[in-house]
Structure 1
């Protein structure tokens, strides 16, 4: 099961995240999401656990827990939604009246 963890302290590492869940069962992966430009934590991450029952127990017990002074939110991750490649808004060019809304 894939688990979403939010409101993480910016000091939490992948290893810390794995350690939080290791008491509940085998952790397949743990990843704190970082900004692609600064490489700093974005304050959330994902944990993958192979045993769904263990994952549900971890979610129930860790949700709302305090980590480094912050109450974390732990939920089952939703599948990633497809992003559309286009922008539905018409562009506006101050040089031309033809593109006005």
Structure 2
């Protein structure tokens, strides 16, 4: 299950974020989105956890958790629809 983590402190590292979520289970991947021009954090990232139950527990327990100077927001990431796909008529 892929989770969206918003309101990250700009100084939060991927290692810090991964460690926080590993308290709830295996973390398959951890990415903080970076601005290509400034190479600084955009304040959000993604965590992928293979077990849905672990991801749900992390979401419930970490939404509103203070990490760095900010209270993070955690929710299930929406699946993107490819721009080449046309909506069903």
Give the TM-score taking structure 1 as reference length: 0.78
Q: Which residue is 2:51 aligned to?
A: 51
Task: Tell me the number of residue pairs that the alignment of Structure 1 and Structure 2 aligns.
Answer: 84
- Where 1:27 maps in the other structure, the secondary structure is coil
Q: CA RMSD in A?
A: 1.2
Unaligned 5+ runs, structure 2? 85-89
1:63 and 2:81 matched: no
- Larger relative contact order (C-alpha < 8 A, sep ≥ 6)? 2
Deviation at 1:14, TM superposition (A): 1.0
Give the TM-score taking structure 2 as reference length: 0.88
Choose 1 or 2 for highest CA Rg: 1
d(CA) in 2 for partners of 1:52 and 1:10? 28
